[in-house]
Structure 1
Amino acid sequence: MWVLAGLALAGGLVGLVCGIVGTTAPKGPTVAARVRAGRRLAGRDQRMARRTRLVGGALAGVLLWLVTGVFVAGALVFLAVVGVPWLLAPTKSATARIGKLEALGDWTQRLANVLRLGRGLDEALQISRKGCPDEIAAEVGDLVDRLHVGWRPADALRLFGDALDDVTADKVVAALVLSAADRGPGLAQALDDLAESVHEEVSRRRAIEADRAKPRTTMRWMTIITLGVVGAGFLIPSYTAPYGTLIGQLVLAVLAVGFVGVLALMRQIADTKPVPRFLVADPRSAVTLASRADVEGAEVSA
């Protein structure tokens, strides 16, 4: 018992000293690095899921074709396994854009508060990296890193706008670009107004997404009911016997193509069509900036 108490006391003293003095262990990854790693991992998982669906759909289609003798049925099963998850999945791009836009509004408000403390724009941008929302942590981190290595603020900010890729974000980036070229007063108040405008835009987009969710729900239930009826029909040989002939398979193929076309059209109607950006650089300068960013990214990775 006394031995255990002594070990516990020694461990507590070691932990206290390490907490006060610190250790030489390397620091963990930054928020931006964790966000980039998470995005790479998510992309890898998506590619793996697509390959799994392709293989599973092909096996299920061949199996149904061999059992029923209806080639079109096997092809439909393959299309269903591959395409139904895409048709039924909610449109995540709009949700991600809204999340980024909300994070941009919070970051813009914080940047305005830092500028009110008498900081310069470059220093305020560097300070804003700390506590930056995770949704735009990678973009803000890249912006600050480019400023650290000597990029012109206007060029770094333009690439920041390209990374966000949103017309509302262009308003904030345009104000920062103009301020970088002409260090005049009033930027903090302008960013305050822009932050409020961004938050209002977020509210409007969320209301629009709530309305677009209704046709998506209709499409989802229509697909589930139709697939359920078709699946139950294949369990009854007398019901599916007419589709075993050549004419029956042609009719089944036409009906399937029409049904898939209607679903694709409904998804397109319910999908988000982003407003074109206005802060678009000259193509030649854009290529130069992109090449420079790629070179720096390769150097960082190496």
Structure 2
Amino acid sequence: MNATVLLCGLLGMAAAGGVVLAAAGWRGTPVRPEADTHPTPTPRWLLAMREILRHQRLVIGAVVAGIVAGVLTGWPVGGLLTTIAVLLVPRIVAPDSGATERTERIEAVAVWTEMLRDTLSAAAGLEQGLRATAAAPPTALAGPVRALAGRIDAGERLPDALRAFADDVDDPTCDLVVTALVLAAERQARQLAALLGTLAEAAREQVVMRLKIDAERARVHTSVRIVVATTLTMAAGLVLLNRTYLDPFDTGTGQIVLAGVGGLFGLAFVWMAKIAAIPAPARLLQNPTTSTTTREAIPS
């Protein structure tokens, strides 16, 4: 009997591993080309393996937890559901650190725009003003701003350097500023300093708005955590404290029903998490060689 239970648990974990690999392979991992304008596409299976290896500790822990659950309960489906839960639940209930980074990036864009405006107001040229901002750039934009100055020093055309800078920052608010700078570089736009001041003010207003939105989203995330924790605690309590109540799941039909119930709960958890996610607006400047556009997907 013990050997049969162990075999069932191992079979369930093999199925779970197949589901994880298939999902990772279907999703893939976007790769942004660096210098090669015609990069060789990476096979999806290799991207899937890289994704798995990057989170190998979580995957190993999920598989071990699934095996333990399958052996203790004798339910292959129970082991499979445990593996999937260990992989997905941390992403659903974890705070959205990306929201803070996006807000800091927008605020850094506002600060950088004001720095450039003040430099241009001192009768400096556009290229000279861009180089000057690289001396003490905002922390969130330090890398892209210095890379921009490096491209200018290397003799790259200013519009091309600015578009590359927009791709490095990868933010719709920054695209607005870069669009104004590209127009100024190509068509000698007047009153650029005043326009940059207006854009910086708009960026700060967007920061205030995002802080309010993030506060509201925090309430939704809290509700999601409570629902998920309550559901999983109740399920674990039934397995540990009232095992006879779950005896109908010991049959083959019971396993099918358990798979359906677990799938419905999983879909409900993902759906609740998606409610708290807000898609980012589309960028104005999108490099055609860039494989994907950044979006706020399922909250982490």
Q: Unaligned stretches of 5+ in structure 1?
A: 1-45, 291-302
User: Larger Rg: 1 or 2?
Assistant: 1
Any stretches of 5+ residues in structure 2 without a counterpart? 1-50, 291-300
The alpha-carbon deviation at position 184 of structure 1 amounts to 4.5
Cα deviation 1:91-146 (Å, max 9, x = unaligned) = 33332211101100011111111111221111111110122111111111211111
Match of residue 231, structure 1, among 230, 233, 236? 236
Q: Deviations over 1:245-272 (max 9, x none)?
A: 2122212111111111011112122112
Kept after mapping to 2: 8 A contact 1:94/1:272: no
Q: 1:70 aligns with which of 68, 72, 75?
A: 75
* The one of 251, 260, 267 aligned to 1:254: 260
Query: Residue 137 of structure 1 corresponds to which residue in structure 2?
Result: 142
Counterpart residue number, 2:270: 264
State the Cα distance separating 1:210 from its structure 2 match.
1.7
Cross-structure match for 1:295: none
User: Number of residues paired by the alignment?
Assistant: 239
1:47 Cα offset (Å): 7.2
- 2:87 aligned to which of 82, 86, 93: 82
Instruction: Give the superposition deviation at 1:49.
Output: 6.8
Give the corresponding residue for 1:275. 281
TM-score, normalised via structure 1 length = 0.74
State the shift of 1:185 in Å.
3.9
Q: Specify which structure has the higher proportion of helix.
A: 1
2:171 match: 166
- Report the TM-score, using the length of structure 2 for normalisation: 0.75
Q: CA deviation at 1:278?
A: 2.4
Tell me which amino acid in the other structure corresponds to 1:253. A
Aligned position for 1:20: none
Q: Paired residue for 2:246?
A: 240
Offset of 1:64 from its aligned partner? 1.9
CA-based RMSD of the aligned residues comes to 1.8
Instruction: Say if 2:152 is the partner of 1:147.
Output: yes
Distance 1:47 1:202, change over 3 A: farther
Q: Deviations over 1:57-84 (max 9, x none)?
A: 1111112212221111111211111111
8 Å contact from structure 2 (residues 183, 189) kept in 1: no
Q: Alpha-carbon deviation of 1:280? A: 3.7
Partner of 1:5: none
Amino acid at match of 1:143: L
Is 1:113 the counterpart of 2:114? The answer is no
| Distance change in 2, residues 1:103/1:47 (3 Å) | farther
Q: Deviations over 1:176-229 (max 9, x none)?
A: 111112335411111111111110011112212222222221111110111111
Q: Does 1:186 align with 2:198?
A: no
